[in-house]
Chains A and B, each alone.
Chain A
């Protein structure tokens, strides 16, 4: 008999939670109950530190069909088309085994989507790595990218956009956040996970259960320590081939309406799927654990309950439909097994052969999970460093500085990464990872759907509230610069230890400010995930609320390019002054990020709308929102067609003296490239479109050239040199990668 302290430690249940369990049960927990409470009351499954705050999200409007209640959120695009999407973290498993960790992250998020009945049509990923020279970092980069590529390409869902950050705060704790989006075409039904109908079968489909990832859910709720190496047996292996069979067969059984409810087995495996299905449906389940297909006969009931073997689904079907269901799974070479039935008494009864191992009210585990009001401080001005108002010191040469920025790991091309992703499978892709917005075409209505992932860690590092607003506004602006109306948001909130009040303060600030920005834009948050305990040996990561924003454009024409289209076109800069920040350029120079100003969400929401209208004006060839590393870098990235630019001094500068302004960041600026003859009318239209109270300004700041690049008349260089620096920087940072 294990003594109580050891037991609590083993099951990662604290004293307070133990008392609550005793109170709910009216007795000591026994046998399997320990494992069940451990899994479902883990941070990962229960959101116990975040739930009270997540309720604050702006999450409803007339388009929202599902938000937070199910595996993914769903919005209505009108004309019969709907999309389900979500983003989820797989940080800890990816740090331990990067290939499998990232691959199973992709597998898991895809299951969340097709569980709803939607066909997955797009993937995206938000990755944060440490410095290239940090221990294991090249290995982690190669493994994560390989895992995403290996899994996504094989299941046949294109990766169409993403973001990759490098910062020392991720040296010991990388972030791997996977986004997936699925499409319901006209007439296709949305499914849910509410178990219903006394006497209906509980059917297990997919891979056999092994000991993979046992206690994975509670592991994800812990910080890393030196022990991570020894946690290796937890690793789950993903099989994208099997997932592909599951996708096709599940979509087929749903299309034929053969299932009542369906849920994937994700974190905490069969336990969470069965208890959640019962709890949501307000029914009980009788489950025969001995009937669960197992990979190896030595597996115990506890391991069956907690296994995180991949590519498994649990579904409820009416007995008369079982034969038809089985035939479809057989066609796809998959095994299905009846492992239980729905009962009226609200109890989940776990049997091993004829022995009742335990029975529990599912609500005790799901609805009654603890909710903590972790201590935090309201966000105030004192949290940020506003010491900097004058700009960075002048640089000796703008072009040399630009070359160093383009080669830096923060600035260099991510092509090594995205070239490994199939960006076009599905034949819906209109814009891929090389663009600022990933775009797929909806086949039935020929409308375009845009996806942008966002959040800039260095802005949050400076001020958690401003970083959170920007995490919504920047992607929304990128969408609108291509003519898309931002529709809805998913997020993946990656934080350190929530038991530390400074972390919790940043978390709460992020939730409140994301919500405020979403409300201003009318883009509800419809799904998401929280990942706490991203710390290694007491070092927390930069708080990283990653976001995914989805937008719609009514036609696929007139999506401005990301690059220059022809020489002598005119370059305009539109600016709405909010924040001025030294940004990534300061980090590159090993300085702290500083800045001044504040983002007003309502003014920005108005600006987003205005930019969308401007993007559709006649003669707009290209647009780009100025982002990391400032204006010079952003212009350089528009040169991929080997056209250059002449950017002129003074036209947009105002009071600033230092030439370092080419490298600092003004939120928000948008570059518009105009066909020469349309430029004048464009400027006139701007004056008509803008709100008279808006503080935005429009400047003509230069023109597109045949290939030479210059800044304010300073040192001409050739565009080829820029592109070489941009493309070869990766190799210089990661020499060991093939």
Chain B
């Protein structure tokens, strides 16, 4: 099963990259645009049971893939 992990900086944490890109977007005339930058991780996990895979992925996410101190994550399941 293919699972996507979307990792974004936590809202209350300063997103330095997002701030820099946002300011250039504004300079290019895109007023009012908000920008946050994170990363996207695609995993191919053996197993078809969504619940089991989800539990497994959450374990990986918590162990390694994101830093709860500064980031949040969302999972996306591909059928």
Contact = CB atoms under 8 A, between A and B. Distances in A.
Do any CB atoms of chain A lie under 8 A from CB atoms of chain B in the complex?
yes
Contacts of B20: 239, 241
A210 B14 CA distance: 8
Contact of B19 (A100, A235, A239, A310): A239
A237 B16 contact: yes
B17 to A, nearest CB: 9
A211 interface: yes
B55 interface: no
B33 interface: no
A212 B19 contact: no
B14 A207 contact: yes
Nearest to B24: A333
B69 A232 contact: yes
B79 interface: no
A211 B16 contact: no
A382 interface: no
Contacts of A238: 16
Interface string B35-79: 000000000000000000000000000000000111000000000
A207 B12 CA distance: 14
A296 B14 CA distance: 10
Given A97-B69, A232-B69, A237 B23 contact: no
Contact of B14 (A232, A233, A237): A237
Size category of the binding interface on chain A: 10 to 19
Nearest to B23: A333
A309 B14 contact: yes
A721 B22 CA distance: 53
Given A239-B19, A241-B20, A333-B23, A211 B70 contact: no
Interface in A205-253: 207, 210-212, 232-233, 235, 237-239, 241-242
A295 interface: yes
Interface in B18-37: 19-20, 23
Nearest to B27: A333
Contacts of B19: 239, 242
A239 B69 contact: no
Contacts of B69: 97, 232-233, 235
Contacts of B16: 237-239, 241-242
Contacts of A309: 14
A211 B12 contact: yes
Nearest to A242: B16
Given A232-B69, A235-B69, A212 B23 contact: no
B33 to A, nearest CB: 16
A212 B11 CA distance: 11
A13 to B, nearest CB: 26
A295 B14 contact: yes
Contacts of A242: 16, 19
B70 A212 contact: no
Interface string A422-442: 000000000000000000000
A674 to B, nearest CB: 53
Nearest to A235: B69
Contacts of A296: 11-12
Nearest to A210: B14
A402 B69 CA distance: 44
A233 B67 CA distance: 12
Contacts of B12: 210-211, 233, 296
Contacts of B68: 232
Contacts of A310: 14
Q: Which of B11, B14, B16 has the most CB of A within 10 A?
A: B14
Contacts of A233: 12, 69
Q: Which of A97, A233, A237, A242 has the most CB of B within 10 A?
A: A237
A462 B20 CA distance: 50
A212 to B, nearest CB: 7
B31 to A, nearest CB: 15
A122 B68 CA distance: 34
B67 to A, nearest CB: 8
A309 B19 CA distance: 14
Given A212-B14, A233-B69, 18 more contacts: A97-B69, A100-B70, A210-B13, A210-B14, A232-B69, A233-B12, A237-B14, A237-B16, A238-B16, A239-B16, A241-B16, A242-B16, A242-B19, A295-B14, A296-B12, A309-B14, A310-B14, A333-B23
Interface of B: 11-14, 16, 19-20, 23, 68-70
6 contacts: A210-B12, A210-B14, A233-B69, A237-B70, A309-B14, A310-B14
